[in-house]
């Protein structure tokens, strides 16, 4: 008997918004006492940093100036790995003539990975000058062995001399961005004028209205009156002139090359779609046009609960650290449910399913099960009827020394419901009646477990119970 190879999403937990997700993708709010999914939290970016050199960058104009990329680290255009800086000694005569040094030069070390303490690149005056030559640098990939020499990029006297390739349309893009910035500022100013409250004026006398000469310009000009010109006409004419100036000029289509259909295709030099889209400004059509790209910065985010606005995930500010100041995830609180063995199911017959429930915390936890009521939640799943254990079970603490202790052996369990008991784990028997075995069988229940606060700020609170719906999907036997 062979089983299907789809082992993902076997056990799903329902969020407070009735969305099903694996336990590893859920958060747990200790204030609301409910699970939260990715849609139930809102994120805020705290800082940006380079994943290679760990150079930090705040969310300010500095990030816009860098365009979200690191100025010191580069990405391989062929395999997306991080390029390393390698150095060679080149004869002074070759460097003076501007020739490309041969690739068989002697390497000085395998790589010189940049660290935050070595971010200052050596200058031309501080480069190593031996009696036989000068030290120069080039970029190389340690994974696919691609280097800047393969595409004809000359070696540099300093690692900081490697720059990103400037797009041919950069001037046009900058011109459009500046135009829309100015237009947005003007739009905000116009809105502020509308919101501005009217000023208090002195009461006027209407004796001057008897003079018909004062209204002659208004009656003669109509919509082109001085008031209308002052309020709207100048603005409209200015917008039209600017828009006419910023309009793109049509160009003649580029004719295809003569050897487009006759030239044989060399797949070794043809980049893939992913390699072309890595550089959307140029999209190289051949591997000889590859150019190293600056490495993207990664963001550290802060996640908050939508219900109470408390912090769920907060990482440390140090770019090189992987620790969290606050980490409230469901994996540390909810009991872990796993399928011990996929049974052989028959249509219309009741089958026994073994599920293991593990305790993730270091205190004893009570667990019980209830029938799932589809009217209370918005979960839309077609499930099979199941028979649940109707007892209250005690899970021993998750202790590394639990195998040496005999505390779990003193608990008497019903053998018709409990298959076996281990330190911090319990294997229970569930009975499912399959209706259609041609597809995967699903059954659902509600798990109720006790939760004890583990943070010092919540030690005064009493023990509470948490209820969460659980969906178990059994694989179809082939």
Distance CA 217, CA 206 (A): 19
Q: What pLDDT is recorded for position 445?
A: 92
CA 192 to chain CA centroid, nearest Å = 37
Q: What is the mean pLDDT of residues 409-413?
A: 73
Position 226 pLDDT exceeds 60: no
Q: Which residue has the higher pLDDT, 367 or 317?
A: 367
In this prediction, what percent of the chain has a pLDDT beyond 90? 15
- Residues 73-122: pLDDT tens digits? 999 999 989 999 998 888 766 666 555 555 444 343 333 433 333 434 43
Considering only CA atoms, give the Rg of the chain. 35
Distance CA 348, CA 456 (A): 52
Q: What pLDDT is recorded for position 278?
A: 86
Q: What pLDDT is recorded for position 110?
A: 39
Q: What pLDDT is recorded for position 403?
A: 58
| Tokens standing for residue 286 | 């051949």
Question: For the chain, how many residues are written?
Answer: 478
- Please give the mean pLDDT across all residues of the chain: 77
Among residues 443, 87, 78, the alpha carbon closest in space to that of 293 is found at 78
Distance CA 71, CA 125 (A): 22
Q: What is the mean pLDDT of residues 345-371?
A: 88
Q: In what order do the strands lie in the sheet with 56-57?
A: 56-57, 41-49, 298-305, 311-315, 324-327
**DSSP 8-state assignment for residue 279:** S
- Residues 362-408: pLDDT tens digits? 888 899 999 988 777 777 777 888 889 888 998 888 776 655 665 55
Predicted confidence band of residue 196 (pLDDT cuts 50, 70, 90): low
Using alpha carbons only, give the angle 142, 147, 149 rounded to the nearest 5 degrees.
155
* Residue 118 β-bridge partners: none
Q: Which SS3 state, helix, strand or coil, does residue 39 take?
A: helix
Distance CA 135, CA 108 (A): 9
In this prediction, what percent of the chain has a pLDDT beyond 70? 74
Predicted confidence band of residue 127 (pLDDT cuts 50, 70, 90): very low
| Tokens standing for residue 263 | 């030239």
E-strand ranges in 213-349 read: 293-296, 298-305, 311-315, 324-327, 336-341
Which residue has tokens 């390699």?
Answer: 275
Helices (H), 208-326: 216-221, 226-228, 234-246, 273-277
**DSSP 8-state assignment for residue 63:** H
Q: What pLDDT is recorded for position 382?
A: 78
- Please list, residue by residue across 260-283, b when 16 or more beta carbons sit within 10 angstroms of its beta carbon and e when fewer do: eeeeeeeeeeebeeebbebbeebe
Query: Phi, psi (5° rounding) for residue 314?
Result: -145, 115
E-strand ranges in 50-195 read: 56-57, 69-75, 84-90, 129-130, 133-140
Which has the minimum average pLDDT: 63-72, 251-260, 362-371, 390-399? 251-260
Q: What pLDDT is recorded for position 449?
A: 92
| Tokens standing for residue 215 | 């209204």
**DSSP 8-state assignment for residue 167:** P
Predicted confidence band of residue 477 (pLDDT cuts 50, 70, 90): low
**DSSP 8-state assignment for residue 431:** E
Q: What pLDDT is recorded for position 244?
A: 64
| Tokens standing for residue 64 | 């816009």
* Residue 432 β-bridge partners: 351, 386
Predicted confidence band of residue 304 (pLDDT cuts 50, 70, 90): very high
Q: What pLDDT is recorded for position 58?
A: 77
pTM of the entire predicted model = 0.67
Ramachandran bin of 381, using left for φ above 0, alpha for ψ from -120 to 50, beta for the remaining angles:
beta
Q: How many Cβ atoms from other residues are within 10 Å of residue 137's Cβ? A: 23
């Amino acid at each position: 008997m062979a089983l299907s190879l789809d082992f993902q999403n076997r056990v799903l937990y329902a969020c407070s918004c009735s969305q099903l997700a694996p336990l590893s993708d859920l958060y747990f709010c200790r204030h609301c006492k409910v699970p939260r999914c990715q849609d139930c939290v809102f994120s805020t970016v705290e800082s940006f940093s380079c994943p290679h050199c760990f150079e930090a960058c705040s969310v300010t104009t500095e990030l816009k100036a860098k365009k979200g990329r690191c100025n010191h680290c580069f990405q391989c255009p062929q395999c997306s790995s991080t390029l390393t800086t390698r150095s060679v000694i080149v004869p002074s005569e070759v460097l003076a003539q501007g020739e490309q040094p041969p690739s068989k030069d002697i390497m000085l070390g395998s790589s010189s990975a940049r660290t935050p303490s070595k971010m200052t690149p050596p200058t031309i005056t501080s480069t190593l000058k031996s009696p036989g030559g000068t030290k120069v640098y080039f970029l190389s990939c340690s994974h696919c062995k691609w280097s800047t020499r393969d595409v004809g990029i000359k070696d540099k006297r300093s690692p900081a001399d490697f720059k990103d390739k400037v797009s041919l349309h950069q001037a046009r893009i900058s011109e459009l961005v500046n135009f829309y910035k100015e237009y947005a500022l003007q739009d905000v100013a116009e809105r502020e004028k509308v919101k501005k409250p009217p000023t208090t004026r002195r009461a006027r006398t209407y004796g001057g209205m008897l003079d018909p000469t004062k209204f002659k310009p208004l009656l003669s000009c109509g919509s082109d009156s001085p008031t209308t010109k002052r309020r709207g006409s100048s603005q409209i004419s200015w917008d039209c002139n600017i828009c006419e100036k910023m309009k793109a000029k049509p160009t003649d289509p580029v004719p295809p090359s003569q050897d487009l259909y006759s030239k044989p295709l060399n797949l070794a030099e043809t980049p893939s779609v992913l390699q072309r889209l890595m550089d959307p400004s140029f999209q190289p059509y051949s591997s000889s046009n590859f150019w190293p790209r600056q490495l993207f910065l990664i963001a550290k985010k802060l996640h908050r609960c939508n219900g109470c606005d408390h912090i769920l995930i907060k990482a440390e500010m140090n770019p090189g650290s992987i620790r969290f100041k606050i980490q409230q995830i469901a994996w540390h609180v909810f009991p872990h449910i796993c399928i011990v063995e996929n049974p052989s199911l028959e249509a219309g017959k009741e089958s026994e399913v073994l599920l293991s429930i593990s305790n993730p915390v270091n205190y004893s936890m009570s667990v019980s099960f209830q029938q799932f009521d589809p009217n209370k939640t918005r979960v839309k799943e077609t499930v099979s009827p199941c028979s649940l254990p109707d007892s209250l079970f005690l899970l021993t603490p998750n202790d590394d020394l639990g195998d040496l202790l005999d505390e779990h052996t003193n608990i008497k369990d019903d053998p018709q419901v409990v298959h076996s008991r281990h330190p911090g784990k319990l294997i229970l028997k569930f009975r499912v009646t399959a209706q259609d075995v041609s597809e995967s069988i699903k059954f659902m229940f509600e798990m109720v477990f006790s939760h004890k606060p583990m943070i010092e700020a919540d030690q005064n609170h009493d023990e509470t119970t948490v209820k969460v719906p659980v969906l178990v999907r059994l694989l179809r036997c082939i």
